């Protein structure tokens, strides 16, 4: 398979420019991401807590590069830090072009933990994000 078509997963975290606008901003970002990511064959999850974003994106390397280039330039956040990029055999978030976990008071500590461990344990953070969504599906 050519490298550009290889399925990869990337994980990054960043700092929201305006933490006070977190929820309306998230809705807008999700709508555009859903549209673009469907077009580009990307799937993933976006979490936000205490003014920090955590995002997982999966898809063909070339489409990940193009999307990350746009995301990096977005003034709605800064300090975009890519913490993991690796080839994958299968998607973990294949059901969603982009999904956000609903933030309930019960889940707030879990979301905080995913974001806090983004840098030192990105793969564990991916697992925790998936577990969070599974809990929401089951609820
Ligand atoms: C935290 C964050 C996550 C984003 N995630 C995505 C994404 O997964 N896909 C995407 O196309 N745009 C995403 N965006 C939006 C891009 O930065 C950019 O605004 C958008 O891709 C432009 O799309 P357009 O050229 O179709 O208007 C994200 C923005 C932020 C702030």
- Look at residue 78 in the predicted model and tell me its pLDDT: 96
Q: What percent of the chain has pLDDT over 90?
A: 60
For ligand 1, whether the C-beta of 76 sits within 6 Å is yes
Where in the chain are the domains?
A: 3-138
Among the atoms of ligand 1, which is closest to the Cα of residue 40?
A: 11
Q: What is the pLDDT of residues 106-136, one digit of tens each?
A: 788 888 888 888 889 999 999 999 998 998 8
Residue 93 DSSP label: S
Minimal-distance CA residue to ligand 1 atom 23: 32
Q: How many angstroms is it from 53 CA to the middle of ligand 1?
A: 13
CATH number corresponding to 3-138: 3.30.70.100
How far is residue 62's CA from residue 110's CA, in Å, rounded to a whole number?
32
Q: Rounded mean pLDDT of 28-47? A: 95
Q: What is the pLDDT of residues 60-71, one digit of tens each?
A: 999 999 999 999
Residues with Cβ within 8 Å of residue 21, at least 6 apart in sequence = none
């Amino acid at each position: 398979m050519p490298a550009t078509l290889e399925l990869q997963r990337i994980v990054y975290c960043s700092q929201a420019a305006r933490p006070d606008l977190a929820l309306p901003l998230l809705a807008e970002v999700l709508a555009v991401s859903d549209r673009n990511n469907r077009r580009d064959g990307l799937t993933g999850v976006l979490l936000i807590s205490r003014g920090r974003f955590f995002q997982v994106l999966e898809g063909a390397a070339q489409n990940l590069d193009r999307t990350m280039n746009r995301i990096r330039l977005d003034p709605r956040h800064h300090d975009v830090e890519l913490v993991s990029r690796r080839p994958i055999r299968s998607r973990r978030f294949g059901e969603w072009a982009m999904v956000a976990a609903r933030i309930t008071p019960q889940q707030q500590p879990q979301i905080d933990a995913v974001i806090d461990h983004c840098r030192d344990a990105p793969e564990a953070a991916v697992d925790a994000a998936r577990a969070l969504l599974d809990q929401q599906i089951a609820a």
